[in-house]
Amino acid sequence: MKLSRFPRLHFAHLPTPLEPMPRLTEALGGPQLWIKRDDCTGLAGGGNKTRKLEFLMGQAVAEGADTIITQGATQSNHARQTVAIAAKLGLRCELLLEDRVGTDSQDYNYNGNVLLDHILGAALHYVDAGTDMTAAMETRAAELERAGHRCFVIPGGGSNATGALGYVNAALELAQQANDQSLVIDCLVHATGSAGTQAGLVAGMVGARTGIPVLGIGVRAPDNVQHANVLKLANATTSHLGLGDLVSAGDVLVNCAYVGQGYGISTEASIEAIDLLAKTEGILLDPVYSAKGMAGLIDLIQRGEFSADQNVVFLHTGGSQALFAYRTEFNVPHYRL
């Protein structure tokens, strides 16, 4: 898997740690639980988009862009990480934020990632739910190009065959860490949304023949749609690497039973997962992605899907900055002496 032939900038803090979670393991009665800390990739709070952006921004710089355009939900972690690296590179950044959750909560609309986007210097454009975001970005790019700018448009979540290379690299990195520690990883579990993370991981795990299965817990789409999205992008990624369509349908494991009412809407189980990780391991999950991913993993453990001696790695994809947008989901008492 020759990643070095692709343009890439090196700004992520890598490798991210692979740590045991003994207190969570004990609380759930096994399997042996580990966490891969991609919440610690270092870019203004970090998260999974940073790995993708190393390759995407490598391409943007190679093409001479002066303006980066991308899109996401209002509390997009991808948007925050994109504007952070744009700032570091001295590039303009415009963010199209979709009102996907449909709330008038001040915390949701102005705190968390939105506050950070603003501080980092993004031009923010709010658009209605259901807008064709790809078309909206193209329209904005055309406007800016007419004004003399050179735009580079990054798809939502940084999920294309270029961005997914960041997670091919992550698969190789994790396999190396497992080998170094003589750790047999029976399953890698994470939250899947725009599919680039899982597509890259599966492409890497299959391409390097690691034998490590990757289970994506969905946060938005139903199973069949998510499965198709991941499979398509995984093969686009192996093809981009010059290996052809390497990934078969059976390599892509998704479970979208933990979405609840919809994208960005908490469930009882997702709030419980945040609570449990915080109080057993001192680790902060995010309300939109990793909390649902962890809620799924906890449920599968409780259903006996894993034996006590198996090793399961949870990929923490970041996003705890969005907790501030979801403040009212947590009952913070009003203390008085």
Among the candidate windows 113-121, 174-182, 189-197, 303-311, which touches ligand PLP by CB under 6 A? 189-197
Separation between Cα atoms, residue 35 and residue 160, nearest integer Å: 25
Residue 162 binds to ligand PLP (criterion: CB under 6 A): no
**Alpha-carbon gap, residue 243 to 135, rounded angstroms:** 31
Is residue 121 classed as helix, strand or coil in its secondary structure? Answer: coil
CB of residue 44 to ligand PLP, shortest distance in Å:
13
Task: Report the residue number, 237 or 317, with the smaller CB distance to ligand PLP.
Answer: 317
157 is a contact residue toward ligand PLP (CB under 6 A) = yes
Q: Smaller CB distance to ligand PLP: residue 64 or 201?
A: 201
CA distance 208 to 203: 8
Q: Give the span between the Cα atoms of 282 and 274, in whole angstroms.
A: 10
CB of 196 to ligand PLP, least distance (A): 4
Q: Concatenated DSSP letters for 196-217?
A: HHHHHHHHHHHHTT----EEEE
Which tokens in the block code for residue 299?
């449920």
Least CB distance to ligand PLP at residue 29 (A): 26
Q: Which of 56, 79, 185, 195 binds ligand PLP (CB under 6 A)?
A: 195
Edge-to-edge strand order for the sheet containing 67-73?
123-127, 92-98, 67-73, 151-154
Residue 192 in contact with ligand PLP, rule: CB under 6 A: yes
Active-site residue, 76 included: yes
Q: List binders of ligand PLP among 8-47 (CB under 6 A).
A: 47
Q: Among all residues, which ones are annotated catalytic?
A: 76
Residues at the site binding ligand PLP, with contacts judged by CB under 6 A: 47-48, 77-78, 157, 159, 191-198, 286, 289-290, 317-319
